[in-house]
Amino acid sequence: MRDRLTISPAGYRRVTFLVLLALGFIVVTGGAVRVTGSGLGCPDWPTCAEGRIVAPLEYHALIEFVNRMVTGTVSIMVIVAVLAALRRRPYRRDLVWLAGGLVLGVIGQIVLGGLVVLFHLYPPLVMGHFVLSMVLVANAVVLHHRAGQPDAGLRDTGPVVQAVAGELRPLSSWLVAWAGVVLFLGTVVTGSGPHAGNHEGQFVERLPFAVRDVARLHGLAVWILLALALYTVWRAYRDGAPAEAQRRGAVLLAVLCAQGAIGYIQYFNDVPAPLVAVHIAGATALWACVLRFRLALVSPTEMTAAPSPRPAGTPVPHRA
């Protein structure tokens, strides 16, 4: 019976992939709440309104309520990730700790989401809500990656070596750090812009910055990120990084260019709500791509030891 309750490494990696998708999806639903002006559709917390747990049949209330239900579903999924890590065989302590971090992060998101509602979409709280979402996505990306790594003590295919050496490792660290700066500046633009998350008749405080100024600063940061990504990916190709790292680098550049194009299109078209939602989803995808590229560069990989070439005429040793 106990054997039936265990989960294989491949099965657990599928669990972590579903959790990663769910955490990305909840960022998209949160963006839908903002761009539809439904942030105060349920003005109370943890209830929706006037002591009612279920939202009334009203457009904004239902959108906000659906987002809360998605949060509940994600909460269950991260708990499942922890339980599955405990039942995974071989047991891996690092996976249990990473899955536990997701549970703590989701609890933090629930509390922070309640504060966002209670303080009427106060911009710094909304910004913190998004930043914590990116922390959770990063945790899930690392968990999924580590779940696909060989188990300690089971590496029988050859010696374990570092994927890359030299400047690529610090370059990839700078790439992740600057991507974080770009994401934060994006929240500043959103906190200063027209999509506060409220609908008509509801006052919501905005950040005291001109949208044009912070958008230009954000755009400059994106151009720097693109230059850094181009150089790092080029170095990965030049230095013979693993094929998986090169593939992830190409995906990163494609997502980054698409995200930059969407950003400029929405800016020059008065920031239409549908494009804002796409941009939020793109930011999440970009963050995941940066992290996956970094992990492919710095994670140890297994290499099958190849026989050393022998000079011509060297006799082959005879085994007794």
Q: Where are the domains of the chain?
A: 1-119, 160-303
DSSP-based three-state secondary structure for 313: coil
Topology given in CATH for the domain delimited by 160-303: Four Helix Bundle (Hemerythrin (Met), subunit A) (1.20.120)
- The closest alpha carbon to 242, from 164, 173, 168, belongs to 164
Q: What is the mean pLDDT of the chain?
A: 86
Residue 291 in this model has a pLDDT that exceeds 70: yes
Mean pLDDT of 76-102: 96
Mean pLDDT of 79-93: 95
Amino acid at 169: R
Q: pTM score > 0.85 for this model? A: yes
What does the alpha-carbon distance between residue 119 and residue 125 come to, in Å, rounded to a whole number?
A: 8
Distinct helix (H) and strand (E) counts, the chain: 8, 2
Mean pLDDT of 215-236: 96
Residue with tokens 């943890």: 46
Amino acid at 205: E
Instruction: Give the per-residue pLDDT at 74.
Output: 95
Instruction: Give the per-residue pLDDT at 164.
Output: 64
Amino acid at 47: T
- Phi then psi for residue 275, to 5 deg, are -70, -30
Strand bridging mode 300-302 / 160-162: antiparallel
All residues at 6 or more sequence positions from 174 whose CB lies less than 8 Å from its CB, including other chains:
228
Task: Quote the radius of gyration of the chain (alpha carbons, Å).
Answer: 23
